[in-house]
């Protein structure tokens, strides 16, 4: 039984966690299929961005505790929770968050490059209420995204915030009415896809590098020898849309 669906929409891959009966909680099978979907995104030249969402009006309730009690792991070695939170993807990934994004679900969203949130979405890291910490990237990424004391409040209380609050904190790029997140995220993906794929990958490489200045020098040197840079300059001079090749 497939628990992660993929659909190509233009130049974007819509990835849907499809376990609504479990509020899209991540078990071993879900992690494996999500990892495979991300591989599809990475390996397909016609796809320039991905959108991650959940079926049934819920993004993800995080780790499937019932499966975990049976000994299942929701992590993929080297790629983290759900095969995403530690993965080094070259293509932009957008989270379209409806309903609950709790625990690992929130961490999946934090593992994406952009977040589109429904107004009534719920983001939370309640691990401390269970004697744990948000070890799928929550305690690492959240303090990097929002002011320290606000991140600590979310991490230490375990209490959720809604989509509107997430937008006001800068966690969400767009806050939209419930039911519209996937459509808006796909629009963002198409906007991103107007740009050069090598440049998009270079941005991601620099942002996640430990020495960003060194990484920036390396990436710009590579880009300056690419056919896409020449095409971008030529298209600008000729006042036309560039035709990117990814070379």
d(Cα 186, Cα 166) in Å, to the nearest integer? Answer: 20
Verify whether residue 107 is a known catalytic residue: yes
| Residue in 127, 159, 219, 231 annotated catalytic | 127
Strand, coil or helix: 75 = strand
The DSSP symbol for 78 reads T
Strands (E) in 143-194, as ranges, are: 161-162, 174-176
Max CA distance (Å), the chain = 62
- Cα dist from 134 to 115, 126, 142, 180, 185, whole Å: 19, 8, 10, 28, 26
Q: For residue 137, give the nearest of 108, 175, 101, 159 by alpha carbon.
A: 108
Please state the separation of Cα 225 from the chain's center in Å.
30
> Residues 102, 126: contact at Cβ < 8 Å?
yes
Helix (H) or strand (E) holding 102: strand 100-102
| Residue in 107, 119, 153, 219 annotated catalytic | 107
d(Cα 238, Cα 240) in Å, to the nearest integer? Answer: 6
d(Cα 124, Cα 158) in Å, to the nearest integer? Answer: 6
Question: Which residues are known to be catalytic?
Answer: 107, 127
């Amino acid at each position: 039984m497939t628990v992660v669906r993929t659909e190509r929409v233009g130049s974007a891959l819509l990835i849907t966690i499809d376990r609504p009966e479990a509020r899209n909680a991540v078990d071993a099978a879900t992690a494996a299929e999500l990892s495979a979907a991300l591989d599809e995104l990475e390996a397909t030249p016609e796809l320039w961005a991905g959108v991650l969402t959940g079926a049934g009006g819920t993004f993800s309730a995080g780790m499937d505790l019932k499966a975990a009690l049976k000994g299942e792991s929701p992590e993929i070695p080297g790629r983290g929770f759900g095969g995403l939170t530690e993965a080094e993807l070259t293509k932009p990934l957008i989270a379209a968050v409806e309903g609950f994004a709790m625990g690992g679900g929130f961490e999946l969203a934090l593992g994406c490059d952009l977040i589109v949130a429904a107004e009534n979405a719920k983001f939370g890291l309640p691990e401390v209420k269970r004697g744990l910490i948000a070890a799928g990237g929550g305690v690492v990424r959240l303090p990097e995204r929002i002011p320290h004391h606000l991140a600590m409040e979310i991490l230490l209380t375990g209490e959720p915030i809604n989509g509107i609050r997430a937008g006001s904190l800068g966690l969400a790029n767009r806050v939209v009415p419930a039911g519209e997140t996937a459509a808006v995220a796909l629009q963002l993906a198409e906007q991103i896809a107007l740009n050069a794929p090598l440049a998009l990958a270079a941005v991601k490489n620099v942002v996640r590098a430990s020495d960003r200045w060194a990484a920036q020098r390396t990436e710009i040197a590579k880009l300056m020898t690419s056919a896409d840079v020449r095409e971008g300059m030529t298209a600008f001079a000729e006042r036309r849309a560039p035709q990117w090749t990814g070379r």
